[in-house]
Amino acid sequence: MTHAAFPDLRLRRTRRTGWSRAMVRETQLSPANLIWPLFVCPGSGSEEPIASLPGVSRWSVDQIVLRAKDAVAAGIPCLALFPYTEPDRRSPDGAEALNPDNLMCRAVAAIKDALGDDIGVLTDVALDPYTSHGQDGLIDDAGYVLNDETVAVLVGQALNQARAGADIIAPSDMMDGRIGAIRQALEAEGFGHIQIMSYAAKYASAFYGPFRDAVGSRGLLKGDKKTYQMDPANAEEALREVAQDLTEGADSVMVKPGLPYLDIVAAVKANFAVPVYAYQVSGEYAMIEAAAAAGAGDRDALVLETLLAFRRAGASGVLSYHALHAARLLTA
């Protein structure tokens, strides 16, 4: 690159006024870049605040529909749904995932009945909200998560959600080969139009704790998830995971968690010409809320700056519990 030298070049010139900063701004953030994760609970007219996620609640199906309408009004294009499964509906084999009348399916159907294509619905495919042991798949007698046997159940779960009206199937389980198996099943069942957003680079992170409270799996997990979720030390492996999932038919990919893995977001964006999403996970949300509550930073500024960082790193969009608040800030 060729540049003039100071004082002919003064980089502060374009920062002098707001209009000039806006004119040369390299990265844009809008509500269209946001996906809002929501937690579904049993009942009617119900809101259940989640203590470890201040400001986030579980909502019954009728209330989820109202949240979906809020999202449409704010310009958010897509919701991501996660169920709170009561203990008596959990089992070692996660059979509730295949129930066509489970919370996830009822919520999907209710949103699509109310709003149609005014908003997209992304559904999580993994067994941890449904298993009594808290793992994302089936386990053997030693507690090891079985890959191929789990994939067979995930295929059934994905088809169950597709029949309910899901727009995007999002496998978060990190089993090998599940994207190809789900894609083939969707095509065979006449759901070729349904997208797959793969959690392609999902790390075995310490930032997931509040999420496990939200879906009711904290305290149930036996062992850890390090045999299938990625080692936080690995970056090149993430590119291999992404490549495999794209080869198998994923339409977009996700990196999870978010801010601690912006290097992975940037590397995936640089190496693959596909939409890349990042999940600003529950622990990240909780840290921002705690910092704001302690007076360590302005909440609105922290929210918008972190979301902008995802976009700057190359993310097409961000799953964030701050999505509705951020969307309203951006359009105020």
**Residues annotated in a binding site for Mg(2+):** 241
Q: What is the spatial distance between Cα 117 and Cα 130, in angstroms, rounded to a whole number?
A: 28
Would you give the DSSP letter of residue 144? P
Residues 46, 40 contacting (CB under 8 angstroms): no
Catalytic-role residue among 69, 222, 225, 256: 256
- Nearest to 97, CA basis, from 71, 70, 132: 132
Active site annotation includes 222:
no
Question: How many angstroms separate the Cα of 155 from the Cα of each of 31, 223, 276?
Answer: 32, 25, 23
What pairs with residue 80 in β-bridges? 37, 122
Catalytic-role residue among 112, 202, 225, 269: 202
Q: If residue 197 lies in a helix (H) or strand (E), which one and from where to where? A: strand 195-202
**Residue showing tokens 């908003």:** 119
One-letter amino acid identity for 199? Y
Rounding to the nearest 10 degrees, give the CA dihedral for residues 276, 242, 142, 130. 30
How many CB atoms within 10 Å of residue 236?
Answer: 8
Residues 314, 255 contacting (CB under 8 angstroms): no
Q: What is the spatial distance between Cα 319 and Cα 34, in angstroms, rounded to a whole number?
A: 6
Report residue 2 CA to chain centroid gap. 42
Residues 94, 127 contacting (CB under 8 angstroms): yes
Q: What is the spatial distance between Cα 309 and Cα 33, in angstroms, rounded to a whole number?
A: 12
Active site annotation includes 269:
no
Catalytic residues: 202, 256
